[in-house]
Structure 1
Amino acid sequence: MMSWNKLIFPKEMVGESLPEFNGLEGVLQPLLSASNSSSLKEALEILIKVSRTAAARAELALRNILPTVLKLVESFHQTSSREYLVNSLKLLRNLCAGEVANQNAFFEQNGVEVVLSVLRSAALLSNPDSGVIRVSLQVLANVSLAGEDHQQAIWLKFFPNEFSVLARVRSQETNDPLCMILYTCCDRRPGLVAELCRDMGLPIVVGIIRTVASVGFGEDWFKLLLSRLCLEDIHFPLVFSKSCEGSSSENSGNTDSGDDLFLSEQAFLLRIISEILNERIEEIQVSSEFALCVLGIFKRSVRVVDFASRGMSSLPTGCTSIDVMGYSLIILRDICAREGVGDLKNDSLDVVDMLLSHELIDILLSLLRDLDPPAIIRKVLKEGDNQGLNLSASKLCPYKGFRRDMIAVIGNCAYRRKHVQDEIRQKNGILLLLQQCVTDDDNPYLREWGIWSLRNLLEGHAENQQAVADLELQGSVDMPELSRLGLRVEVDQKTRRAKDFALPPDQVLVSECHLQFQHGMIFWCDTSKVH
C-alpha cells in the first residue's frame, strides 16, 4: 500500500532548497516532512491544496501540524513577511474547516490571541490589508463552528472594540466572514444577540450595514445576521433608528425632498429586510413590534414624500424617502400575505389584525383616492363624456409600482377577513378597487393584483357582491385597450345598473357574481349608491 505522502504529493511537486528563516528550521520540519518538500514556500502551497479534503485534514491533525502553522503565523506577522503570512493563514483556515481535532488544537494553543494580533495590525493600517484580514477572519469563522466554548473565546477577545474596528473596514471580502462569525456566535444564544443590540454592540451592526450599503455582499451571512437580529428577534426598531447616527450620507441634508428624516442606510436596511422576508415568507413569523415599527416608518415617509412628480423608475429610486416608503410598503405586503401570522410571544394575536387596528386600510384607501387614476382610465375619462369626474388628482405615483404595492397590501388584508371586506365597502372602496383591474405602464402587474384584491373583496360576501351589482352607469367608452383587457360590464338599459360585469376568463372570482366574458365597456358610478 502506498504511503499517504506518496499518494498525495507527486515527486514533481517536491522542492529542492530550504531558505533561511532566522532559526525556524526546527519548527519547519513537520511541514517539510508532511509535504515531502525541502522548500517552505512549496510546502505551504502543497499543504494548502491537499488540506481542502476532509481526509487530508484528518491526517494532518494526526501529525499535529496545526501548532507548527500557528508558530509560523506568529513569526511571519512579527517579521512582516506578508506572502508567507498569508499562505500560513490559508493553511490554518483549511485545517480548521470542519476538523474538530484541529479546531480544538487551535483553541488550546491560544490561536484566537495569535489571530487577533494579526488582525489588529492589518486593520489599523491607513489602508487596511483586506487580504490578510479576510483570511484571518475565515480562520476564526471556521473555528467558531466548533461549538460554544470556541465561540465564547472569540467573543470575549473581540467584542466590542475589535469587532467595531473590523466592521468599519469597507471591504466586501472582509465583511462576509465577519458576518459569519457574528451570526455563528449569536445563533441560538439570545444573550449574545442582546449584547450585540445594546449600546456597546450597535456600532458593530451599524458599521456592517454601512459597509454592505457601500460595497455590497457576496455571501448570505449578512442576510442571516440581519434576519436573526431584526426578524427573528425584536431589535429592528433600535437597529433602524441607530442606522442614522453619525452617517456621512450625501443625501442627509436634502431637506427639500424630505430626506432629512431618513438616511440612505435606513432605506438600504429596509430593502434587505424586505428581500429576506420575501425569500423566507413561509418560515419567518414577525413580531408585533416589528410590524408596528414598519407601519410607523411608512406613515412617516408618506408625510415627507413629494407626490408632485411621477416616478420614472422602480425601487430603488435613489431618493431616500421614496425608497423608505416603498420598501416599508413591500414589507407590509408580505406581512399581510400570511394568514394568521402570530406574535412571537402570543400566538393568539394576529399581527395583520393588529396592523388593521392601526388604520392600515384607511391610510391606503386615502392614498389611493388621492392618486390620479391609471393611465388607461385617464384616457377613458378624457375621451368620454365624464365631465362630473375629477381628472386632476393631487398626487402622482412617486415610483413605478407604488399603486400596485398598495393594492397588494389591501388584497392580502382582505383575504378571508370579513371585517376588512366590510370596512372597504363602508369606506366606498369597492369602486376604487374595480378601477385598479387594468394594465398600467407605471405599475407592472397592477391588473393581476387588482383582480386578486377584487376576488378577496367579494369572496363569500353577499353584501359586497350586491354592492357591485348596484353600481349605476355614469358613462362608457368603447376602447381597443379595454377589449384586449377583457374588462367590461353589461348594463341593464332600463335601470342603468350593472346586470353582469366581466373580467378575463382565466381569472377566477366568486361564482355568485355570474361573471361573463364579453367586450368593450367600462363603468363609473355615483359612489353615494354604494353602501
Structure 2
Amino acid sequence: MAVDALSLEHPLSEDTLQLLFSASNSSNLENSLEVLISISRSDYGRSDLASRKVLPAVLSIVQSLTQTRHHVLSLCFKLFRNLCAGEAANQNLFLELGGVAVVSGILRSQAGSPCPDHGLVRWGLQVLANVSLAGKQHQRAIWEELYPVGFGSLARLGTKQTCDPLCMLIYTCCDGNPEWFRELSNANGWHIMAQILRTASSASFDEDWIKLLISRICLEECLLPVLFSELRFVDAPKDEDTESNEKEFSSEQAFLLRILPEILNERIRDVTVSEDVALFVFGIFKKSLGVLEHATRSKFGLPSGSAAVDVLGYTLTILRDICAEDSVRGNNGKEDIVDVLLSYGLIELLLSILGDLEPPAIIRKGIKQFENQDGASCSSKPCPYKGFRRDIVALIGNCLYRRKHVQDEIRQRNGILLLLQQCVTDEDNPFLREWGIWSVRNMLEGNEENQKLVAELEFQGSADALPEIAALGLRVEVDQRTRRAKLVNNVP
C-alpha cells in the first residue's frame, strides 16, 4: 500500500486507507490523494466525495503525519481546498471535526519555522478562505484561531505567494463582520496591515484581494485616517523623537496611497469616498507640499523612490479621481465633495503651486528669464516627479467640469492665462497637452466672461506668447452677432 514510507505520529486505520483507495481506485496514498484532487475540481466530484466521507479520512491523515512530510501535507491541503470550494457539507464537516484548529496550528508552526514551506502555507490559507465562505460561524472560528497573533506571524513571512491568500482569508472572514475590518486598524491589528503593505510594496501582488481589503477598510469603513496614522511609525526606532520627524512619511503610507487611485479607477461607480476621507487626503497633500522646497527636476514618474514625493503625487492623484468620481456620479442631492474641497481653498492652492512651477520646457526655451544654468529662474520650482504638472492641471480640469463658480474663480484669481500655458506638449509631463485642453474647454464652456477674456488676450497680443494655442489646431473666434468668444478648431 506504500504507506510505510510515511512518517506517522499516529497509525492510520485500515478503514481510513481503504476509504481513500476505494474513492480514488488506487492502492498508493500519494497517488490516491492526487486522483481525489482531480475529482474534487468539479461540483459533482465534490458532492460525491462528500457523500463518501472523504474529508474526515483526509483530516485523519493530516493529524497522523509529522510536519516533515510537506509533500503529503500539501496534497491534503489541496484536497481540502477543493472539497470546501462551495460544498456546504464539506465546509460544515471541516468545522465540526476541528479542521480549523488543525490547519491553523500547522500554519502557525510554519510561520515560526526558520525554513517555512511557502507553498504549504499558501494552500492552507486557501483552505481556510474557502471554509470561511460558509458563513459567520465558520468565519468566527477562523478569526478566533488566528487574530491577531496568527495573522501577524503569517504576514511576516513577507512573500507574494503567501500574502495574496492571506489577504483573501482576512477579507472573506471580515466580509460579513464589518467590526473586524475596524479591528485591523486598531492597536492590535494595524501591524498586520503594515506587514501586508510592506510585502505588497516590495514583492508586488498578483491578485486583487489586497485592493478589496484596502477599499473596504479605508474607503467603505472610512478608516483611512486611522490606518494611515498608524503606519507612520512602522519603521521608526522606538526611541526616535516622532515630533521632530512629523513631516516625513513611511514607505507603507506611500504604498497605501498608491493603491487607492487604482481602486477608485477600477470601481468608480461602486465606491463612494466620504467627505471625511476626502478632506483627510487633502490635508496630507498640503502637508506633503514641503517636499517642493528642496525638490530637483526628476526624469522619473511615480513611484519615485522617495516616500515623501510619492505621498505628494498619490494624494494629488486621489484628489483628481475623487473629483472625477463626483462628476460621473452626480451628487444626488448631497453636498458635492468637490465644493467641500473648494471651500477649503483647493483652487487657490493649486493655482499657487502651478504658478510657482517653472514653465513647461517648450515655454522655458522661449523666455529669457529662464535662460540660466538650470533652465529655470531662482524663484521657480521644478517638478518633483515626471507628471506632477499634468496631475495639477488634471485636478483643476476635473474641478472645472460644469461648475461655473470654479470657472469664475479661475478668472478672478488671474488663472486663465496660466491654464492656457498648459496646452503644450511637455517631455517632463506626459499627456499635459490633453489635460490642458480638457481644462481650458471646461473653463470656457458656457462662460461668456472667460470666453471674452481669452479673446481679449489675443486681440491685445497677449496670446502671441502662446503659440501652443495655434499649434493645437485651435483659435479664438468671436461671433459677430453675439460677440461671444470661444475656442474653435482651425480645421474647417
Q: 1:295 to 1:422 in 2, by over 3 A?
A: same
The match for 1:197 is 185
Question: Within 2, Cα distance between the matches of 1:487 and 1:458?
Answer: 13
Q: 1:284 aligns with which of 226, 246, 271?
A: 271
Question: Within 1, Cα distance between the matches of 2:439 and 2:329?
Answer: 23
Question: Within 2, Cα distance between the matches of 1:207 and 1:277?
Answer: 23
- Give per-residue Cα distances to partners, 1:147-199, cap 9 Å, x unaligned: 11111111111111111111111111111111111111222422222222221
2:4 counterpart of 1:19: yes
2:380 counterpart of 1:399: no
2:415 counterpart of 1:415: no
The match for 2:227 is 239
Given that 2:475 and 2:488 are in contact with CA atoms closer than 8 Å, whether structure 1 keeps it comes out as: no
Given that 2:160 and 2:200 are in contact with CA atoms closer than 8 Å, whether structure 1 keeps it comes out as: yes
Given that 2:129 and 2:173 are in contact with CA atoms closer than 8 Å, whether structure 1 keeps it comes out as: no
The match for 2:355 is 369
Q: 1:265: Cα distance to partner?
A: 1.4
Which letter maps to 1:107? L
Equivalences for 1:187-336 in 2 at 5 Å?
Answer: 187-247=175-235, 261-306=248-293, 308-336=295-323
Q: 1:422 to 1:61 in 2, by over 3 A?
A: same
Aligned length: 475
Given that 1:307 and 1:398 are in contact with CA atoms closer than 8 Å, whether structure 2 keeps it comes out as: no
Question: Within 2, Cα distance between the matches of 1:290 and 1:478?
Answer: 39
Question: Within 2, Cα distance between the matches of 1:243 and 1:79?
Answer: 35
Given that 2:100 and 2:128 are in contact with CA atoms closer than 8 Å, whether structure 1 keeps it comes out as: yes
2:336 counterpart of 1:350: yes
The match for 1:57 is 46
Structure 1 gap segments, 5+ residues each: 1-15, 385-389, 491-498, 501-509, 520-531
Which one is further off, 357-366 or 391-400? 391-400
The match for 1:445 is 431
Question: Within 2, Cα distance between the matches of 1:482 and 1:289?
Answer: 39
Which letter maps to 1:423? E
Q: 1:111: Cα distance to partner?
A: 0.7
Q: 1:202 to 1:343 in 2, by over 3 A?
A: farther
Q: Partner of 2:326: helix, strand, or coil?
A: coil
Greater fraction helix: 2
Q: 1:167 aligns with which of 151, 155, 172?
A: 155
Given that 2:420 and 2:469 are in contact with CA atoms closer than 8 Å, whether structure 1 keeps it comes out as: no
Q: 1:512: Cα distance to partner?
A: 4.1
Question: Within 1, Cα distance between the matches of 2:345 and 2:2?
Answer: 78
Q: 1:316: Cα distance to partner?
A: 1.2
Q: 1:86 to 1:515 in 2, by over 3 A?
A: closer
Q: 1:81 to 1:329 in 2, by over 3 A?
A: same
| TM-score, length-scaled by structure 2 | 0.89
Q: 1:143 aligns with which of 131, 141, 155?
A: 131
Q: Alignment RMSD, CA only?
A: 3.0
2:97 counterpart of 1:89: no
Equivalences for 1:516-531 in 2 at 5 Å?
Answer: 516-518=488-490
Q: 1:127: Cα distance to partner?
A: 2.9
Q: 1:225: Cα distance to partner?
A: 0.4
Which letter maps to 1:513? A
| TM-score, length-scaled by structure 1 | 0.83
Q: Partner of 1:470: helix, strand, or coil?
A: helix
The match for 1:337 is 324
Q: 1:370 to 1:487 in 2, by over 3 A?
A: farther
Q: Partner of 2:206: helix, strand, or coil?
A: coil
Q: Partner of 1:318: helix, strand, or coil?
A: coil
Which letter maps to 1:72? I
Which letter maps to 2:307? T
Which of structures 1 and 2 has the bigger CA Rg?
A: 1
Question: Within 1, Cα distance between the matches of 2:35 and 2:236?
Answer: 46
Q: 1:223: Cα distance to partner?
A: 0.6
Q: 1:40 to 1:427 in 2, by over 3 A?
A: same
Question: Within 2, Cα distance between the matches of 1:444 and 1:69?
Answer: 57
Q: 1:65: Cα distance to partner?
A: 0.6
Question: Within 2, Cα distance between the matches of 1:337 and 1:343?
Answer: 10
Question: Within 2, Cα distance between the matches of 1:207 and 1:331?
Answer: 23
Q: 1:36: Cα distance to partner?
A: 1.4
Which letter maps to 1:62? S
Given that 1:340 and 1:350 are in contact with CA atoms closer than 8 Å, whether structure 2 keeps it comes out as: no
Q: 1:295: Cα distance to partner?
A: 0.6
Structure 2 gap segments, 5+ residues each: 371-375
Q: 1:360 to 1:79 in 2, by over 3 A?
A: closer
2:17 counterpart of 1:28: yes
2:473 counterpart of 1:486: yes
Q: 1:17: Cα distance to partner?
A: 4.8
Equivalences for 1:43-82 in 2 at 5 Å?
Answer: 43-76=32-65, 78=66, 80-82=68-70
Given that 2:158 and 2:195 are in contact with CA atoms closer than 8 Å, whether structure 1 keeps it comes out as: no
Q: 1:454 aligns with which of 440, 465, 472?
A: 440
Q: Partner of 1:268: helix, strand, or coil?
A: helix
Q: 1:106: Cα distance to partner?
A: 0.3
Given that 2:219 and 2:271 are in contact with CA atoms closer than 8 Å, whether structure 1 keeps it comes out as: yes
Q: 1:219: Cα distance to partner?
A: 0.8
Which letter maps to 2:291? V
- Runs of 4+ that moved beyond 4 A: 340-344, 390-393, 481-484, 487-490, 516-519
Q: 1:391 to 1:475 in 2, by over 3 A?
A: farther
Given that 1:305 and 1:321 are in contact with CA atoms closer than 8 Å, whether structure 2 keeps it comes out as: no
2:87 counterpart of 1:99: yes
Given that 2:455 and 2:486 are in contact with CA atoms closer than 8 Å, whether structure 1 keeps it comes out as: no
